[in-house]
Structure 1
């Protein structure tokens, strides 16, 4: 059996209805995992779960606002009940608001802090409670947080987003240490995706051009590619395959780490 095989693993993916989260869910299911897609987009999430099921995978959907503690508790409980346990939590749900620092809108920053940082923290909280000894799953496991290349580079107009994703990086390392010291048996790592042409990535290109930072959205994309040694934007599969690695036994001694999946942009 391959070390990348996830047969028998039960995985919850936040922001799993579309974009990177959907790609991660598909890759995890393709490696043999049963997946629970968690998202605020109920209709889209249910369609994605149904499509995965039609392809022969075990997939379910649960409505989840990652900023709501009670919803987290319910979503994890539903995952354990419907999938028979919980082995991996992917904290992928995120929000990006493009604005110059001189135009900072406090409410926008608070929302990014709530979704990107608090949402990840609550995901770790409930993953630990479920997977630690004595929890309803109780067999240990893995948590994978989705940070961003924005945590490692200085790119104009994403100051708030960069700050929250830098926080995800630090939170990952503290969580790994707490899990180890307290004997939870849960590895905690994060990935730093580069720019991927999902709806969020395309929005960033349009908005940075709109702020006058680049002549056009295409020029914004070109600037990113120019900064990337691999010479291209990322693809959803690039990020999804890295998540499968961190969820699998192939990464069994990788803990408290941040894995750049950015084509070298953040080096």
Structure 2
């Protein structure tokens, strides 16, 4: 059975939508009929994403928005409300990665990661919730990460921020439920995005790094941004009408796997 999602007449706001998962989600929601607002600090790429959607027959507009500033967030969402009259889906996706041990991470670096990845998500979700509450309907999505549960020594700030997303999402889901608003998180694993490719470059052989990251996953590959976008559409649709306060993995089975060195039963 094929499920077709229809967002005709709905307004969707996506942060960090100039590339990667955000851009793929903006394209997918627009293809499903939504009026999409592409929010990002990268005006060049953000405008290009919106233009590509429009050239393909969809509806999209770009707004420059720095999610770390509440005034910036309030202004951007105010423009959306003035133009479209409401917000049906807010996808708090903006974020940056971070690879540095605790011992060498400077306080300003720590604050920058948490400001973008966690506080930025809070500011956007809060404003979206306030806009949705009088209408008693809406969906708020977050981009979390498996790093909120299992991480590495070099990802302290990122792991802390993504663990915080889980707590924020659950608390908001409980607060929003009586108002008919659903709140969930997507937890992408290794997804083929510009950010992942940039991280792979640090290894010296990016293509080999990507192959290795895919090979250790049960499905034998890394994911595509479009696969995460598909889950975002599902969670925002009536097909997920009884799902709130949930974290859904998109990681090729990585979190289900016991690390080989910790296996207690010999493989047959």
TM-score (norm 2): 0.90
Any residues of structure 2 matched to 1:74-153 within 5 Å, and which? 74-133=75-134, 138-153=135-150
User: Following the alignment from structure 2 to structure 1, what is the Cα–Cα distance between the partners of residues 19 and 5?
Assistant: 24
Any residues of structure 2 matched to 1:224-243 within 5 Å, and which? 224-243=213-232
Matched, 1:159 2:156: yes
User: Following the alignment from structure 1 to structure 2, what is the Cα–Cα distance between the partners of residues 162 and 5?
Assistant: 34
User: Following the alignment from structure 1 to structure 2, what is the Cα–Cα distance between the partners of residues 217 and 157?
Assistant: 19
Question: What do you get for the CA RMSD once the two structures are aligned?
Answer: 1.8
Q: How many residues align?
A: 255
User: Following the alignment from structure 2 to structure 1, what is the Cα–Cα distance between the partners of residues 99 and 198?
Assistant: 9
Partner of 1:52: 53
Is the 1:3–1:249 Cα contact (8 Å) retained in structure 2? no
Structure 2 CA distance for partners of 1:3 and 1:50, relative to 1, 3 Å: closer
Deviation sequence 1:27-65 (CA, Å, 0-9, x none): 111111110011111122122112211111111111100
Partner of 2:201: 206
User: Following the alignment from structure 1 to structure 2, what is the Cα–Cα distance between the partners of residues 186 and 166?
Assistant: 22
**2:254 match: secondary structure:** coil
TM-score (norm 1): 0.90
Partner of 2:186: 191
**1:109 match: secondary structure:** helix
Partner of 1:253: 242
Partner of 2:255: 266
User: Following the alignment from structure 2 to structure 1, what is the Cα–Cα distance between the partners of residues 222 and 123?
Assistant: 31
**1:255 match: secondary structure:** coil
**2:226 match: secondary structure:** helix
Q: Which blocks of at least 5 consecutive residues in structure 1 are unaligned?
A: 211-215
User: Following the alignment from structure 1 to structure 2, what is the Cα–Cα distance between the partners of residues 241 and 156?
Assistant: 31
Deviation sequence 1:203-227 (CA, Å, 0-9, x none): 22233x37xxxxx544543442243
**1:263 match: secondary structure:** coil
Is the 2:19–2:194 Cα contact (8 Å) retained in structure 1? no
User: Following the alignment from structure 1 to structure 2, what is the Cα–Cα distance between the partners of residues 187 and 36?
Assistant: 20
User: Following the alignment from structure 1 to structure 2, what is the Cα–Cα distance between the partners of residues 256 and 3?
Assistant: 24
User: Following the alignment from structure 2 to structure 1, what is the Cα–Cα distance between the partners of residues 232 and 191?
Assistant: 15
**1:254 match: secondary structure:** coil
**2:38 match: secondary structure:** strand
**1:116 match: secondary structure:** helix
**2:223 match: secondary structure:** coil
Partner of 1:213: none
User: Following the alignment from structure 1 to structure 2, what is the Cα–Cα distance between the partners of residues 73 and 140?
Assistant: 20
Deviates more, 1:4-13 or 1:218-227: 218-227
